[in-house]
Structure 1
Amino acid sequence: MGLSLNVKKTEYMVISKKFSNPKCNLVSKGEKIKQVTKFKYLGYLITSDGRCTSEAIMSLQPILLLFGVLAIASAFGSASKVSLSVDRPLNASQGSVPLKIKCTFDKQQSGIRIVKGVRLLRSKIGDNGKPGSYRLIASVTPSNVNNVLGESEIVVSGEINQERYSNLDVEYKSLTEGYCSMYKCIADGTNILYRKKSRFETIRLRSINEGTCKKPHKPVIPDVSKAPSFIELQKKVDQCCVSSDIIKEQSEAIEQLEDGVNECSEKTSDLEEEMTNTAEKYEELANKVEAFNKLLSINTAKYIVSSIYKGRVYTLNREDTVFNLETMNNLCKGEGGYLVEFDDQDEQEFARAFAAFAGNDIVYTGANCVEKACTFVYYNSNKPMTNVKWVPGEPNNCQRREQCVNIRSDGLNDTPCNGKGRFMCEIPLV
C-alpha cells in the first residue's frame, strides 16, 4: 500500500503504510507551508481548514508525482496478505450484538515461510479524532492463544495454519466497548532465509452508530490545553513520541542484526564441524590407502601374508633359512616391519595360529636373552618381553646359549640363535 492523502471536512490525516503520524493539524489556519520546513517525514501538510496555498501546492507537486509513482509500484509489487473485518450492529437499536474483530492472514505469496504468530493491537481515537498509541489486546501462536485484556472483557480464539490461512478473532463482552478505535493486525514469521518478517493491516472504527467519537458538549470551562505553555509542552511530548518510535525501530533493527549474527555464528560452527568430519574421513581414507599400498609392496613370492590383526599383518618366509637376529630383522624392515613382538597373549595366539595355518610349528620371533641379567627383551625395540605364555618349564637355558625364542604349538621356548627355520615379521599398516 502506498502513500495517500485523505482530506475531509472535519478531520485531516496523512495515511501511510510506513508512517502513520498525523501532520495535517501542525499548520495554523491560513499559514503558508513554506514557513514550516523541518519535519522528519516527507509528506503533505494541510492547513486546519483543509486548504493549501497555491504556493505550497506548487512546491509539493514534484514530491506528489514521485510518491505517486512509488505508491503505484509498491501497490503492484506486493500485498500485505492480512485482512481485517468487523461484525457489529448496523444501528443503535441493534446494540444487543457485541463487536467482533476478525483478523485473517493469507500465507500464500506473502514472503513468510513459517508463521510465528498473529497479533491484534488497538489504538483508541481521542476527542481530537487522532488515534493514540497501539496496545496489544490479543495474540495467537502455534502453541497458545493469549488474551491480554482478560476474559472479563473479550473472548479470544484463533489458530496458526502453516498451510495457508491463520486467524485471530476477538469478541467484546460489553455491547458498547471496542468502538472509536484503530485496529492493527500483524502477522509475524520468518522468510526462507529464517529472517524475521511481518505483514500488517489497519482498520478505523467509528462509534456504534457511525457517529462522531467526540464526547457530548459540556459547559464552557477554561481550556488549559490552549494555553501557550501547554501547547509547547504538547509539542515536546509529540516530539518525544516520534523519538520513541525511532528508537523502537532502531532497537528492532539491532535485534534483527543480532539474530543475523547468531545465525551466521551457528552456520560457521556447523561448517567447522563439517570440515573437521571431512578431515577425519580424509585421514581415515589416507590410512586405508597407505595400508593397501603396504600390502601391495610385500614380496609375496618370498613371504606368506596373514590376515589383518589390529592394523597389522604378519609374514613368514616361504623357505627355511639359517636364523640371525640382525639379518632377519633387517629383512623385515625391508618389508616395512620388524621381527614379531607380542603385546599380549592374544597377539601371541594369533601368531601361533597363523604359523600353524602356514604349516610351521616352530617359528623364530624377535626376542632374545640378555646374558648378564638372563632376561628376555625384543631385539628391535629393546622392550622387555612380558605377558606371554611359555612352554611349561621354559625358559631354562638362557645362560647355555639358548638365547633366542621361537613359537611352538604349546607356547614359547628358548632356543639357540643359529638354528635353521622360519621367522615371523610384524608389519604395521598405519
Structure 2
Amino acid sequence: MNFDRIKEKLSILADAAKYDVSCSSSGSKRLNKDKGLGDSSGMGICHSYTEDGRCVSLLKILLTNHCIFDCAYCVTRKSNDIRRAAFKVQEVVDLTIAFYRRNYIEGLFLSSGIFKSADTTMERLVAVARKLREEENFNGYIHLKSIPGASDELMQEAGKYADRLSVNIEIPSEKGLKLLAPDKKREDFIKPMKTVQNGIIKYKNEKKLFKSTPSFAPAGQSTQMIIGASGETDAEIMYTSSYFYKKFGMKRVYYSGYIPISFDSRLPSIGTEVPMLRENRLYQTDWLLRFYGFDIRELLNKEHPNLDSDIDPKLSWALRNLHLFPIDINRADKQSLARIPGVGMRSVSKILHARRYRRLNWEHLKAIGIAMNRAKYFILCDSSDFERKDRTAAQLKSLILSNSSSKFQKTHNSAQLNLFSANQTPILR
C-alpha cells in the first residue's frame, strides 16, 4: 500500500465530505456478535463535533470527488478546478478498520460524487459496507449516502448492511433545483427514498412474525437541504421538510447554510454566507414540528413567510396568538403546556407529575427549571400575579429581549471569570 498516496486521498476526500452535515448516528442497535469488531448500541454512537459542525467520531469521507454533474452549488461539480481523487473499495475498508483499531472512530459515514452512473457509484458504496460486515465482521455504525437514481435492487442491498441511509434533496424547491442543477430531476431523489421506506416497513412487519428477520436500515433514513443558495423563504424550506417527514418517515432533515464557492451569477455573491442563526431557527422549527405538536401552518404561512431572527419560533408564535394565553399550569393538558414559551418537554413531564401532589406556584416552576423570563408572561399558577397585564405583543417582545440580554451578559461575565467555556447546543423551550 502506498501510504503517502492514501494520506493524500484522505486529505482531499475528507475535506470534500465536510459539506455534508447529515451524519447523525443515533437510533441503531447493532450488537457485537461472533466476537466481531465494534458495536452500535441503542444510545447511538458517541461523537464530538468540530467548530464547523463535522462529526469527528465517524470516518467521514467521499469515495470519490469525481462527478459527472455540474451543480452550481457543489464544490465537486465537474467544471470546478480542484484536485480529484478516488478510493478503491478495499482502501476504504482498510482505513475504517485501521482507524477503529486505533480508537479514532466508531463508525463510517461514506458518500460519493457520482462517477459513470448512479448504479456504478451505489454499487461501490454497497461493496464497502458488504466487505466490512461480511469479511471484517464489523458491527460498528455505517451510514451510506443513497445515490439519486440508483436501482431498487442496490438500495435494498444497501439497507442490509447500513445502519442509516440518506439521500440529499439538495435544494428545497423544484424550481431551485432546475435553476442550479438542470441535469438532475426531483424524482431521482424521491425514488430511493420510497425504496428505503418500503424496505423499513417490510422489515417491521416481518419482524413481528419472525424474530430472526435480518435488519434493514435500523436507524432509518435522513436527508439534507442547502439553505440560501436559491432564495427560498423559510416557509418553503419547512413546508418541504414537513412533507418529507410525513411522506417518507424521515428520522431527520438537516439544514446546511450555503457557503459561496464560485462567481456563478445564479448564486449569492462571494462573502454572503448564510448566517448560522438562520440554520438555528430552522432547526428549532423542525423540533417544534417533531416533538411539540405544532403544525407547520401555525408557524409559517403567507403572512409570516420567514422566521423571526430576534426570538425563537415558539415565542414568535405565542406573541402572534396572545388570545390563547394565559394558560393555567395546574389545569392545562400536555399539548397546551408544550406551547408555553420557556417550557420544554422535560419540564412539561415534570409539571404533569408534580401537580398530582399539589398545586404549583412560581417557586415550584422555578425549581422545575422552566425559563421564567419568558414563561411568566404566558401562564397562571397558584400565585396571585399574572405578569403580562395589558402589554401588547410588541411590548412583551421588547421586554423579553431585554431580560434575555441581561441574563446573557451575567452568564457571559461569570463564564469569563471562571475561565471556562464550552460548546453547548441551545435547548428549545
Alignment TM class, shorter chain as reference: under 0.3
Bigger Rg, which one: 1
Larger strand share, 1 or 2: 1
What TM-score do you get using the length of structure 2 for normalisation?
0.18
What TM-score do you get using the length of structure 1 for normalisation?
0.18
Larger helix share, 1 or 2: 2
